[in-house]
Amino acid sequence: MKHILMLGTGGTIASDMTEAGLAPNLTGADFLSFVPGVRSLCRVDCLQVCNIDSTNMTPGHWLRVARAIEDNYGGYDGFVVCHGTDTMAYTAAALSYLIQDSPKPIVLTGSQKPIHADITDSKTNLLDSFTVACDGRLTGVMVVFGGEVILGTRARKTYSKSYGAFSSINHPVLGVVQDGHLIPYLTPRPGEGGPHFYRSLEEKVSLLKLIPGASPAQLSFLLEQSRAVIIESFGAGGVPAGDQGEFYHRIRQAVAQGKIVAMTTQVQNEGSDLSVYSVGHRLKSDLKVLESYDMTIESMVAKLMWALALTQDPTEIAQLFYTPVARDILCQPQS
Full DSSP string of 267-301: -SSS---TTSSHHHHHHHHTS--EE-TT--HHHHH
In whole angstroms, what is the distance from residue 9 CA to residue 183 CA? 28
What span, in angstroms and rounded, lies between the C-alpha atoms of 133 and 322? 29
Residue 335 to residue 319: CA distance in whole angstroms: 12
By CB neighbour count within 10 A (0-12 exposed, 13-18 middle, 19+ buried), where does 27 fall? middle
φ/ψ of 241, rounded to 5, equals: 70, 5
Measured CA to CA, the distance from residue 30 to residue 126 in angstroms comes to: 12
- Which of these is catalytic: 9, 12, 109, 264? 12
12 is catalytic: yes
Say whether 98 sits in a helix, a strand or coil.
Answer: helix
Contact predicate 51/12, CB 8 Å: no
CA–CA dist 103, 190 (Å, integer) = 6
39-49 exposure pattern, b = at least 16 Cβ within 10 A, e = fewer: eebbebebbbb
Contact 263, 290 (CB under 8 A): yes
CA distance 51 to 23: 9
Supply the residues annotated as catalytic.
12
